[in-house]
Amino acid sequence: MAHIVDAKGKPCPTPVILAKGAMAQGHTAFTVLVDNPTAVENLKRLADNQGFAVQVREEGDTFALDFTKGEGCSACEKAVNSPLPAAGGDWAVFVGRDIIGDGDRELGTNLMRMFFYTLAQGEDKPGAVLFMNAGVKLPTLDEQVADHLKALSDSGTEILVCGTCLNFYGLTDQLKVGTVSNMYDIVTRMQKAVKVISL
């Protein structure tokens, strides 16, 4: 019986992460169950990029995607001859706000949580995550983000949180993960990084 990945009801990008987990475990044939067309399209792109063929079956309100390694995949030759660049190099994430984007606050909060979940689950983790201004609300007030940051920290990512900013928001005693830091250390850490992604 094929390995089953039940991703029904899971928000983006969780179905993709679960499918990649099945690949990492060595499964060459498995089925992913999802319940929305967006997840189907994301998983089809993953299959194509990773050298898998995929067949989509509709079963009521559920989509079943059958992954099979290397059978008729349009990107198989490309995947062999043009592999993705290897992960590596010290890089950092600078977080100066507590949401992603300028639109709806609830959406921006959920996007921020999914960003850190995806980052924690990925193979190429940053060397540092740096929090300033309203960004310091994430490792203090947001339990979900704090949990993802703990996972990153356990993997060796340095978490630096602006002490002046914590004081400004009255959050110094609520820091759940990371090291209380200062502008000099944060700037120095950014200068050390090969690249800095700013949110």
Tokens 């940053």 found at: 126
pLDDT at 78: 43
Q: Is the pLDDT of residue 8 over 90?
A: yes
Q: Do 97 and 61 share a structural domain?
A: no
Looking at residue 71, what is its pLDDT?
A: 53
**136 & 72 share domain:** no
Residue 133 falls within a domain, yes or no? yes
**Each residue of 48-104: pLDDT tens digit?**
888 999 999 998 899 999 999 975 444 444 444 434 334 456 999 999 999 999 989
Per-residue pLDDT at 21 exceeds 50: yes
Helix (H) or strand (E) holding 128: strand 128-131
Rg of the chain over Cα atoms, rounded to whole angstroms, equals 19
- Whether residues 118 and 171 fall in one domain: yes
> What's the pLDDT score for residue 154?
96
pLDDT score recorded for residue 42 = 84
- Could you tell me which of 19, 40, 18, 36 has the C-alpha nearest to residue 28? 19
**How does pLDDT run across 167-180, given as a tens digit for each residue?**
999 999 999 999 99
Map residue 51 onto helix, strand or coil. coil
Domain boundary among 50, 81, 112: 81
What integer is the mean pLDDT of 13-26? Answer: 90
CATH code of residue 45: 3.30.110.40
My answer on whether 123 and 177 are in the same domain is yes
Q: Is residue 86 part of a domain?
A: no
Residue predicted with more confidence, 79 or 23: 23
Query: Model-level pTM?
Result: 0.70
Domain that holds residue 72: 3-81
The domain tally of the chain equals 2
**Rounded Cα gap, residues 131 and 133, in angstroms:** 7
Considering the domain architecture, whether residues 97 and 172 belong to the same structural domain is answered as yes
pLDDT over threshold 90, residue 39: no
Q: Tell whether 125 and 29 lie within a shared domain.
A: no
Can you give the pLDDT at residue 132?
97
Walk across the sheet containing 52-59 and list its strands.
3-6, 29-34, 62-69, 52-59
Q: Which range is most confident: 6-20, 36-50, 130-144?
A: 130-144
- Domain final residue, candidates 60, 81, 102: 81
